[in-house]
Amino acid sequence: MPEELQQNPHKTAEFSENDLLVAIGRQTRVFRRQKGLTISQLAREMGVSNGMLSKIENGQTAASLHTLQALSQALSVPLTSLFAGFEETREASHVKSGTGIEADRVGTRAGHQYSLLGNIAGCSGVTVEPYLILLTEESDVFPTFQHEGIEFLYMLEGQLAYRHGREIYLLEPGDSLMFDADAPHGPERMLKLPARYLSIICYPKENRAE
């Protein structure tokens, strides 16, 4: 039985007067998590019930000015910062076919072509870097990488024996691999060339993948 997704990928946005409530709720959740507080801890600090705070975070109730002031004080943020997400411009990165920026990553060897397909570091606190990687007969032996964050690979062409930590995975077209990038990783053997695959790296905005 497939695992239930935490978010609905087909959900459509409905722009209404509730947008402000949703924006306040989203900012509240972001600040609460940044401070490492549970809903119960923050609710106790504010002097409200867990249910009330949960409704605020989910955009299901309009908090009074008194409650918003208590919220900003408990989170140690300006009151106006709770409205930051309302009508905020959201980033998008559109790259036409063949126009990805050629990029060098730390440790990259000769013949390893990296095309950066976009870069977003939004208010979510996460930076996402998608690469299209091409390996050919001219590519040197691949070094292993280690960096913070999560990496997702999707094999498009060719065949690789890909290392992650002590494990070796055979990657063929249509295969995917997602892993903690803090462990040594990279193609161990290039079995069928040319090889092309997508590499999507996600890491905290204040850090940088190497």
Helices (H), the chain: 19-34, 39-46, 50-57, 65-75
Contact criterion met (CB below 8 Å) for 87 and 22: no
Predicted structure pTM score:
0.55
Choose among 158, 193, 187, 190: nearest CA to 172.
Answer: 158
CB neighbours of residue 2 within 10 Å: 4
Query: How many Å apart are CA 52 and CA 33, to the nearest integer?
Result: 17
Which positions of the chain have pLDDT values less than 70?
Answer: 1-18, 85-91, 93-95, 97-112, 119-125, 139-143, 206-210
What is the predicted pLDDT for the residue at 123?
Answer: 52
What is the predicted pLDDT for the residue at 90?
Answer: 58
Indicate the pairing of strand 126-135 with strand 185-204.
Answer: antiparallel
What is the predicted pLDDT for the residue at 210?
Answer: 41
- Torsion of the alpha carbons at 14, 19, 21 and 24, rounded to the nearest 10: 120
What is the predicted pLDDT for the residue at 116?
Answer: 75
Peptide bond connecting 130 to the previous residue in cis, omega within 30 degrees of 0: no
Contact criterion met (CB below 8 Å) for 137 and 154: no
The length of the chain is 210
What residue type is assigned to position 182 of the chain?
Answer: D
What is the predicted pLDDT for the residue at 9?
Answer: 56
What is the predicted pLDDT for the residue at 148?
Answer: 86
What is the predicted pLDDT for the residue at 15?
Answer: 46
Query: How many Å apart are CA 47 and CA 67, to the nearest integer?
Result: 9
Contact criterion met (CB below 8 Å) for 201 and 181: yes
What is the predicted pLDDT for the residue at 93?
Answer: 63
- Classify 140 in phi/psi space as left (phi over 0), alpha (psi -120 to 50) or beta: beta
Per DSSP (E only), the strands in 12-166 are: 101-103, 112-116, 120-121, 126-135, 150-164
